[in-house]
């Protein structure tokens, strides 16, 4: 799992330091434990531009439907294309 906040990783690793967020942290830790193999890594926010835009859309606009199931929102097409064009491919062309 990639996140762009070192503070979030700190909260996940040391929930006792963030008593006001204990319920949210515990629910997040339980969700992560559902995965057989999962680790959390902090990455630069520009690495996850699409995820960041979706998160902002969900929290700001209350868009709770699944973007992935619906093929993704059209307003992300340019960002997806840019990221795909700039990403080194590990697959033969």
Q: How many CB atoms lie within 10 A of CB 42?
A: 14
**What are the tens digits of pLDDT across the range 56-78?**
877 787 666 665 566 666 777 77
Q: Are 19 and 56 in contact (CB under 8 A)?
A: no
| 35 and 54, same domain (yes or no) | no
Domain count for the chain, please give it.
Answer: 2
Q: Is the domain of 6 the same as that of 34?
A: yes
pLDDT tens per residue, range 21-48: 999 999 999 999 898 888 888 888 787 7
Domain that holds residue 67: 45-86
Q: Scan for tokens 């294309």, then name that residue.
A: 81
To the nearest whole percent, how much of the chain has pLDDT over 90? 27
Six-digit token pair at 67?
Answer: 């973007």
Other beta carbons within 10 Å of 10: 13
49 shares a domain with 38: no
* Total Cβ atoms within 10 A of residue 80: 14
Does some domain include residue 93? no
User: Model pTM greater than 0.75?
Assistant: no
């Amino acid at each position: 799992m990639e996140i762009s906040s070192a503070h979030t990783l700190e909260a996940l690793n040391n929930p006792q330091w963030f008593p006001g967020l204990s319920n949210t942290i515990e629910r997040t830790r339980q969700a992560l434990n559902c995965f057989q193999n999962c680790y959390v890594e902090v990455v630069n926010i520009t690495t996850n531009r699409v995820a960041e835009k979706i998160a902002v859309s969900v929290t700001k606009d209350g868009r709770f439907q699944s973007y992935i199931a619906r093929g993704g929102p059209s307003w992300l097409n340019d960002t997806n294309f840019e990221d795909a064009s700039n990403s080194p491919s590990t697959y033969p062309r």
